[in-house]
Amino acid sequence: MDFAEFFTDHARRIAPHAWQRGLLFLFDYRGPFISVQTDEHRLRMALERITQSALDLLDDGFIFLTAQAGWNDSGLADIAISIAGTGQRAPDDKLLQTLQRLQLMDTRDDPAPDGARVATGACPLTSAAITFVANRKDGVLLAFDVTLPAWLQDVEPVPNARGARAWLISDVEGAYQALARRLQRMGWATWTFLSTQEALEQLQRMRPEMARPSLVLATESGQISTQGLEPLRAALPPGTRFAIATWDTEPPGQAAPADGFERLAWPLGPAELVALTRRIHEAEAPSSGETMPAPLSFRDRPQALVVDDNAVNLMVAGGLLQIAGFEAMQATHGEEAIAACRRIPPQLVLMDVHMPGMDGLQTTRVLRQMQREGSLPHFVIVAATADAVGIGEPACRDAGMDGYLSKPLSLGAIEAELSRLLPNLRRAPPAR
């Protein structure tokens, strides 16, 4: 079984349910192209079981479905699947029912002081290890870890778009941020638009010598249609590929003879991204020059570091920062944060204040001292703390922090703080 395609198919089954619930759906797969030996039906049922549980526990916000696959020479693949979400969490009685349905046991007998829940267990269908973490008010994380017999597929090397432009159009705010990141990893330079009109206005601002997009990918909706895209297609070179992403689960990639738009099932899987990128090499090289402003490539993505000892907070904050245009690293304690900053100095650190051992205030003081000594470049540090912690904004500023955010985090609050502290930082266009 091709695991990447299997996981993409699972995402396509789940995405419409997330949208119907008003949840922004993000999806990513990282790892080699592998085939795994397992009971496909049982694995599908196991993933639907935990994914639906995550959906049932959230009323708004977003849900982020990710898989990381690793393969070793012994013929085994370690597969880590995460379903993380943020938003208004279901009441405790419903949470308890979910844990009982999933056959998970709390790791402690008495409730945590902050209301967080951590439970573990084994999947009855696959024996995979399942970990559940929930914050007091918002955010849930279900982790599904399994090791399966696997072998590497005999595939050609993953192509590189070499800076070809991809324009992504969706009227759902933030919908394309995960896809933009995946395309950027394959060498695309991306730009996102909320409407066809925005893309047309961008085109009108471009000088003739500036590079036009090699790919235009739009999500079909009540506001975006093939007919509405015709003016944009007429204004772009004939070689520009136009594709429409739909909820249709029929085999993707078939062009409709009536309009010539390629149909792709949403979300796009690794195979579709490889195919789109490979086709660029069949066409003429993109024109020289840049758009104004230039599209974003993977090397342009600013780095952020999220420091938090809570797994849900790490996933939620990382997802929000990705929507805001950052590539997010993670650290679970102060010492790990310092090591991460030494390895790859970020532009932004989102620092939990209340952590065991070296807390956020102490970690910030160490980082600022290293900057004064010249062993680290300057970067912005923003506190992220729950109001109940009792450590206020003055204490954070005294430690050297530049900003202050209260949990639960929201995209609007993060965007406002970024606009204030990093007004000139080039990053992906934020969700609007």
Average pLDDT over residues 94-113: 81
CATH 3.40.50.2300 range(s) for the chain read: 165-282, 301-421
Nearest CA to 223 among 197, 260, 262, 191?
197
249-299 residue pLDDT tens: 454 444 444 567 888 988 999 989 998 898 876 655 444 444 444 555 555
Tell me the C-alpha distance between 119 and 143, whole Å.
Answer: 11
376-427 residue pLDDT tens: 999 999 998 875 445 678 889 999 999 999 877 877 888 889 889 988 775 5
pLDDT of residue 254: 47
C-alpha 168 chain-centroid distance: 16
215-253 residue pLDDT tens: 999 988 878 888 899 999 999 998 899 999 987 645 444
- Average pLDDT, rounded, for the chain: 85
Task: Decide the pairing of beta strands 129-134 and 117-122.
Answer: antiparallel
CATH 3.30.565.10 range(s) for the chain read: 3-152
Average pLDDT over residues 92-106: 89
Question: Residue 19 above 50 pLDDT?
Answer: yes
Per CATH, domain 301-421 is 3.40.50.11540: no
pLDDT of residue 257: 43
pLDDT of residue 170: 92
Q: Which CATH superfamily is domain 3-152 in?
A: Histidine kinase-like ATPase, C-terminal domain (3.30.565.10)
pLDDT of residue 314: 84
DSSP 249: -
Which residue would you say has higher pLDDT here, 173 or 286?
Answer: 173
Q: Which of 54-58, 119-123, 312-316 has the lowest mean pLDDT?
A: 312-316
pLDDT of residue 248: 61
Question: Residue 14 above 80 pLDDT?
Answer: yes
Instruction: State both tokens at 414.
Output: 């993060």
Instruction: State both tokens at 259.
Output: 């309009």
The reply to whether omega before 293 is within 30° of 0 (cis) is: yes
Q: What's the CATH architecture for 165-282?
A: 3-Layer(aba) Sandwich (3.40)
Q: Whole-prediction pTM value?
A: 0.78
What is the spatial order of strands in the sheet that 262-265 belongs to?
189-193, 165-169, 215-219, 241-246, 262-265
In terms of average pLDDT, the best of 208-212, 301-305, 357-361 is: 357-361
Instruction: Output Rg (C-alpha) for the chain, integer angstroms.
Output: 22
pLDDT of residue 110: 62
Average pLDDT over residues 65-91: 87
Nearest CA to 65 among 263, 267, 321?
267
Tell me the C-alpha distance between 266 and 245, whole Å.
Answer: 5
Average pLDDT over residues 55-59: 84
Question: Residue 196 above 90 pLDDT?
Answer: yes
pLDDT of residue 146: 95
Sign of the alpha-carbon torsion through 202, 173, 142, 113: positive
Q: Helix axis angle, 3-20 relative to 40-56, nearest 10°?
A: 30
pLDDT of residue 222: 79
